[in-house]
Structure 1
């Protein structure tokens, strides 16, 4: 060290005599409105403010919290954005406790996907498809109702009618896939599938299904999956959907395998910079000498 430590009376930190200061970064302090929103959110989620009940009036919240009216309003705006309250106007208006709906979840997921510019060829979405869609088909086969089956067949007929138009086919195919996941009666799965709807009609998918033969092959897959769901055969539905997803997209396992093989080849090339012919020539030259 180049100097003796001294106590920085202003900060309480240790300062070297040459002016070097111990590494203490800036402290990020949450806004008062965010802290108050967290407090109200916890009370709502714990049931202290039941669904359908009004929060205390804004003036009361200002008095109880000691915050400014603007800070309280910001807190309420955060809760409203999260779907935990709705604002009612009129004589008996105010902030009423609610619960986020499946539509709120879909909207949030859509915004997330669109803001990142992810289409259906993005590795993250491709992984989700290969993992989730076969299970959706299996759960649909196990849990579908007659009404679910009617909708599934109806959407399948729409894809048949749209086979000569790529854009119409992709829209109909999207709704067919939504019908499959709807038959699972799983809110989270349905929300995810609906949220990625725009990705399913992206330019990348239009290029992939630009030929009639590609659309016909996918429709044939749909027909077999429909039959497995109708027969309540989860295993067959799972296997058929797996083949369908991997047939319409470059399989995730193939992508991972290709990447690994290229990495191995590059590593071998680094370890052995001479090609076999050059190595042979070098060996021959050594023997000649």
Structure 2
């Protein structure tokens, strides 16, 4: 009987932790937000406080939440969760290329977003919204997501009605979205990463639709600067890992 009770408890812990994990990765709880109280989670999921505590502990071990004494349990940035799951080694040459492309894209696409807010036609605005919707629908599918991501950036460039913006991006091909094939995470981490990008895209899309030139520029700047910072951190970690390996080799 004791064994059956333990097994049932374990199953309930898994169900509750997975439900909370999905809510966090789907963006229902944003970074910095507090999870519902233990009493509320107990009521919502129909389980004991022990099950809720163990489920939250599982999320904590994954780096998705952080209990704060006297304040509650708070959601952490799911991007940290995604990058925590990366492979032990990274192709440094590819990251350098990604950084170079992002640096070149940043001023160009900031300007493109501002111009698109001013110049987009109704048809171009509709295409931007369609690409954004395709990204939301395809976030669980790597190929569909990548195509939609590229399509959105190209649609914004075309909405400037200056063909040189789109020509520059088209010349880069799939490399204009450098995270493709470089961030290898488990499924949850990958979805968390895309969910954050979807929110960044949403700010850009709505600013363009509202004709908010400065808002569109600011949203695009935040989006691309964030990507630059994430890749710089990834490269920095790879350098530290390489140095640690060299020290180990010299000591052996």
**Normalised TM-score (structure 2):** 0.49
**More helix by percentage:** 2
Q: Which has the bigger relative contact order, CA under 8 A and spacing at least 6?
A: 2
Rg bigger for which structure?
Answer: 1
